[in-house]
Structure 1
Amino acid sequence: MDDSKTKPLDTVMHGLMNRYQERVPDVKVILNAMVRERIIADPDDIENDHVAFRTLGVPQLGIASFEKIFLHYGYEKRDYYYFDGKKLDAYWFSPPEPHYPRIFVSELRVNELSSEAQRIIQSYTDEVKSDPVDKLNLDDGPQVDAFLHQPLWRTPTLGDYLSLLHESEYAAWVIYNRYYLNHFTISVHNLPKGYNTVSDFNKFLERQGIKLNDSGGKVKESPDGGLLQSSTVAQMIDAEFANGDTHAISGSYVEFAERRVLPEFATLSANQIQRRHRRDGFEAGNADKIFESTYTAQTGK
């Protein structure tokens, strides 16, 4: 792929991860502990399995807008996922080169919420009169990076946030956090023995005092047994709302993924195994529980 495409993507990914690490103290705790226990030599040794974003299904926004950024950088749109109870749709996108993370983008089906919740959301999102991505020069990495960290609508009131929280915790998260990176994911399967399964890595995390999402169990496993995931519980951040009100809300979290080797490649030796030999994609059942890393049932424990 030519430099004109890779350089903006590198800039965008670097910017996303920098701001994310500033906002999620667990990231540095985990990475520092991994270096201290000699699991990795340097944080750059981490393989980022995927990053995730949350969006609202309203005109001018949602997946249809957001995906334009990463499709431009060579990502390919893959499988669709439907989350009934949470009223979400999602797609994942495969990267242009194996060293880039997969991207998982979800979208709230706003039209399935109560009329009051829709009214609240639209009072903010109606400020976006046209698709904001169409105004970007997608070959300008710093411009795209800045866009992903700037507010698209006015700061919500605490009352509106709490009203949404009562009906859809996902809606409340997005109305305040917008496009902030929801999580990044450490691939554990390439780590040294004793740390290279989600189960073992969870034990390491809990030794560091990291709190894990236990919705559906601490290890979420796909029916085919090929994808195992876990996640931290989102850390609370002091958020400033309109009119100077402050309130502790869910921020972002860290996920961990173990992708097992596909049966047809079971005879490969460890040094032959590449990303393409492992279970790809996602699993709706796993993701459904991981969404709850920002939910009060987890953060309130």
Structure 2
Amino acid sequence: MNNLQSILNGLMRRYKERVPDVDKVINAMISEELIGHADEIENDHIAFRTMGVPHLGIQSLEKIFLHHGYVKKDYYYFEEKQLDAYWYAPPDPTLPRIFISELRVNDLSPATRHIIHSYTSEVTTDPVSQLNLDDPSAVDAFLHCGLWRIPAYEDFTALARESEYASWAIYNRYYLNHFTISVHNLKEGYNHISLFNQFLEKHGLVLNDAGGKFKKSPDGLLLQSSTVAGLIEAEFAGGEKHPIAGSYVEFAERRVLPGYRHLEPAMIRREHRREGFEAANANRIFESTYSSQTNKK
């Protein structure tokens, strides 16, 4: 197993431990014979949330994946949520794309900026630059460690009033925000997002309905849906415990590009399908961890 695969495996292992919906979805897929084993799932992409502050943010985290052969692609701006983002193409088409977003901290109110900086100022150099990126266990440990002190609950709630992205990131840090099941290669009856959503709801999964239960790009070629993040018991400073949003599962259908629709299904590969992301879709998918959605569970 190469170093990159070890890093990705470490991310998925801990993500599954924190997100019960992952096993719920996988077990449902096995029970209805969509797959025989979890390894058969095609992971469309994984996503991280970061803070746009000195020494951190996209410019820091992306170094891990660029080092291992990922290629930086399109930029996205989310005005409503004060976010920047990029996606990264993998060195091998069997590996997931990566989507990294960053909170535009300087766009927030002075009070919110003050709270964020009171934590992130503890990071005085870029932590990734000090990592041995060829040591997968070191990278795995870094992606699951605290970068700053455990937040106080009053700070968490104050951040949430202005940016639920900020409150999620101040507590969860670099924990994997979601992984994404590709549905277009599943068997007939499940290989379209609307059909797969029906399957998920039949098995008791609650879907993010911000902007509709599936989000569709203007070209009609990228359709996405997601579960609502489950609540985890978070321990804040002083041992205070409260339920907060954890991570979630996303689903994507990438339709065949017009120039390749003549191909037989067996001939269709990743390069024949819609690539990249869609800002309007992602804008609503972000809300899978927002209280407007998690309060429904």
Instruction: Please state which band the TM-score falls in when normalised by the shorter chain.
Output: over 0.9
DSSP-derived class of the 1:106 partner: strand
Shift of 1:97: 0.3
Residue 231 of structure 2 corresponds to: 236
- Give, as a single letter, the amino acid of the residue that structure 2 aligns with 1:24: V
- Confirm or deny that 1:27 pairs with 2:19: no
- Confirm or deny that 1:137 pairs with 2:129: no
2:164 aligned residue (165, 169, 176): 169
- Confirm or deny that 1:270 pairs with 2:269: no
Instruction: Number of aligned residue pairs: give it.
Output: 296
- Give, as a single letter, the amino acid of the residue that structure 1 aligns with 2:151: P
Cα distance between partner residues in 2 of 1:260 and 1:161: 40
Cα distance between partner residues in 1 of 2:193 and 2:140: 31
DSSP-derived class of the 1:293 partner: helix
Q: How does 1:1-301 map to 2 (within 5 A)?
A: 7-301=2-296
- Give, as a single letter, the amino acid of the residue that structure 2 aligns with 1:112: D
Q: Aligned-pair RMSD on alpha carbons?
A: 0.6
Residue 3 of structure 1 corresponds to: none
- Give, as a single letter, the amino acid of the residue that structure 1 aligns with 2:275: D
Cα distance between partner residues in 2 of 1:162 and 1:39: 41
DSSP-derived class of the 2:2 partner: helix
User: Could you tell me the percent identity over the aligned residues?
Assistant: 64
1:241-288 deviation digits (Å, cap 9, x = unpaired): 001111110000000000000000010000000000000000000000
Shift of 1:7: 1.2
- Give, as a single letter, the amino acid of the residue that structure 2 aligns with 1:258: E
- Give, as a single letter, the amino acid of the residue that structure 2 aligns with 1:192: K
- Give, as a single letter, the amino acid of the residue that structure 2 aligns with 1:70: F
- Give, as a single letter, the amino acid of the residue that structure 1 aligns with 2:7: V
Cα distance between partner residues in 1 of 2:294 and 2:214: 18
1:56-114 deviation digits (Å, cap 9, x = unpaired): 00000000001000000000000000000100000000000001100000000000111
- Tell me the TM-score normalized by structure 2: 0.99
Cα distance between partner residues in 2 of 1:15 and 1:140: 12
> Structure 1: 5+ residue runs without aligned partners?
1-5
Cα distance between partner residues in 1 of 2:223 and 2:190: 14
DSSP-derived class of the 2:23 partner: helix
Cα distance between partner residues in 2 of 1:69 and 1:36: 37
- Give, as a single letter, the amino acid of the residue that structure 2 aligns with 1:23: R
DSSP-derived class of the 1:144 partner: helix
1:132-170 deviation digits (Å, cap 9, x = unpaired): 000001010111011000000000000000000111000
Return structure 1 stretches of 4+ with deviation > 2 angstroms.
none
Cα distance between partner residues in 2 of 1:209 and 1:264: 38
- Give, as a single letter, the amino acid of the residue that structure 2 aligns with 1:225: G
Shift of 1:238: 0.6
- Give, as a single letter, the amino acid of the residue that structure 2 aligns with 1:298: Q
